[in-house]
Amino acid sequence: MPSLDGLVGERLADAVMALLSTYDKNRGSISLQSLADAVKRGSEGPELAPSAGLLAAVVRCDNMRRAERGQRARFRVNGNRVSLEEWGIDSELREIEQQLEGLVARYREVSQRAFLRALQGMPHRALGELVVLLLEELGCSSLSQVRRPGSHGAELHLRGVVHQAGSELRTAFVVRRDGREVGRERVTELRGALHHYGPAAQGYLITTGQVLSGAREEARAQGAAPVTLIDGTRLAELCLEHGVCVGTASFSLAAPDFNQLESLRAS
């Protein structure tokens, strides 16, 4: 079954959201089976192929994810039928919420770019410590530095254990702290040197600069040891997601709970 917490679950929730947006809200809620059939007929249907039961789980998980983020739920589920939460919300309030969501998304983008500029300006030692903090937040353990004779002074070499799907994988980490791009040759070089890191079964290449298309193509090579590539943009994004060198600010807005009001009216 597709993961409800991963990309597939979010894509399915977005597909349901897009579909429901095309319906007339005055006609009321839509059966989950009808939505499942409509998703299958869509452009991604053959790949996602959801059942009514899976869609029910997807929309509930989406509501829970948004609640954890302090966001309004998108769906209202009643038995085997679903509708959009916004159908019962005052239209002017919803319009303002959409404007606020757009501003928040823009804030995240600007914050990420500013974070990346800060990372690129950090001394090598400080950047190395930040990457270690991030790797620990990502679930890596037993991190230790590896001395590689002849390696570039701007590189930090680490070995550690990545906990993934119930298994523990010895992993090699190479951090480019000078902001230089990572090309295809660095991927093949790391694969050929995994025995120096434990030995390691996989590798990570991390840079505050760019990862070239040749490196990404090589990293996907079939039958070779997996190599994960993290460029500067992704590095900044991960730090923001996992609270590494990040402060937070929140704003609380009171709004009518239309679900409760409707329940009181129906009681």
Write out the E strands in 67-223: 75-78, 81-84, 140-145, 155-164, 167-176, 202-207
For residue 30, what is the enclosing H or E element?
strand 30-31
pLDDT surpassing 90 at residue 51 = no
More confident residue, 234 or 47: 234
For residue 230, what is the enclosing H or E element?
strand 227-230
Please tell me the distance from the alpha carbon of residue 54 to that of residue 79, in angstroms, as a whole number.
Answer: 14
Residue labelled with tokens 């943009």: 233
Range of lowest pLDDT (74-83, 100-109, 114-123): 74-83
Please tell me the distance from the alpha carbon of residue 259 to that of residue 256, in angstroms, as a whole number.
Answer: 9
> Across the chain, what does the average pLDDT equal?
86
Give just the sign of the alpha carbon dihedral 63, 65, 68, 71: negative
- The pTM (predicted TM-score) of the whole model is 0.70
Residue labelled with tokens 């997601």: 241
